[in-house]
Amino acid sequence: MKTLTTNLKSILPVFLMTLSFAANAQKLPAVQPSTGFRAPANIRIDGKTTEWDNTFQANNHATDIFYTMANDDTRLYLVVQCTVPDVISKIIGGGITLTIQKSGKKTDKDGISITYPIFTKDNRPSLGISRKISVENGVTKTETTGDVLTDSVIAARNKQLADKSKFIGISGIPGLDSLISVYNENGIKTGQAINNKGAYTYELSVDLKTLGISAADASKFAYHITLNGLGKPQMTIKIQNADGTTATNNSAVAQSPEVSDMIAKMTAAMGGGGLFSATDFWGEYTLAKK
């Protein structure tokens, strides 16, 4: 009998949370209507949805996010909220990319793209959750442990998000480098936070001038929202053989034809390839006039 186990703590900053969905979630469209939506006054880009009355314009099931796109006379806003632990891990691991295509065509080519948050592989937040997956006699078992979400735990996690996320990825904006500071003076503001229910919120605000569009002209554009995956999974694999010996990593895979099937079962237990692969959708938006 062989038992295959792996601990994903080092690569999956998953949150243990009590999930709470908006009461009107099932009534929301998968993609926000293209007619413009005026942003509320006095918005703070801080990862909180207070100014938005904690409501959203769409619930996209392809990516498992709630979101709202909005504008005022000078800025475009995107607010995203996620309550699914593995999807939050995907966002933390790979970021969200918003691509604006002024031509209206659904292609990233020649578009403007903004990616946030960005963490280096060795600097991702460690957010207190550990998932152990084992396959024994063909049966997959998953054990998840983590801290209770007290106020102090949430504060500590939000501090990690703030301290470790210092850059924004940029593509297609003339004069800007591919990586700029979150403290930039280029009209791009970002924020993220975990609330007391464990939901993760992302906020982005961009000057319309930076994007080359105008509310006065009721500019229309296509947009592409992508949750970038974590890439190829990296797992520490350990096999416990019937004779008491163990094998790890590549040697474990090489010595047993059963391991491939076991790894497939583990991948399924992690929600298939979705955590490591990008998920995305397209929409259209027309800037709202006052």
| DSSP state letters, 262-276 | HHHHHHHHTTTTTTT
The dihedral over CA atoms of 255, 11, 30, 97, expressed in degrees to the nearest 10, equals -120
Query: Which residues pair with residue 284 across a beta bridge?
Result: 222
| Mean of all residue pLDDT scores within the chain | 81
| Confidence band, pLDDT 50/70/90 cuts, at residue 85 | confident
- CA-atom Rg of the chain in angstroms: 21
**Given this model, what pLDDT does residue 89 score?**
86
Q: Tell me: the pLDDT tens digits for 200-215?
A: 999 999 999 999 999 9
Which amino acid, 68?
T
What secondary structure letter does DSSP report for 38?
B
pLDDT reported for residue 222: 98
% of the chain beyond a pLDDT of 70: 68
**Residue scoring higher pLDDT (85 or 195):** 195
Contact (CB, 8 A) for 227 and 80:
no
What's the confidence (pLDDT) of residue 22? 43
Q: Is the pLDDT of residue 156 over 50?
A: yes
Q: CA–CA separation, 17 vs 148, rounded Å?
A: 8
pTM of the full structure? 0.78
At 86, is the pLDDT very low, low, confident or very high (cuts 50, 70, 90)? confident
> Whole-angstrom Cα distance, residue 191 to residue 203?
5
For residue 146, pLDDT over 70 is answered with no
pLDDT at 20: 41
| pLDDT per position as a tens digit, 63-79 | 999 999 999 999 999 99
The residue among 25, 40, 117 whose CA lies nearest residue 75 is 40
- Amino acid occupying residue 124: R
Q: How far apart are CA 77 and CA 123, in angstroms?
A: 27
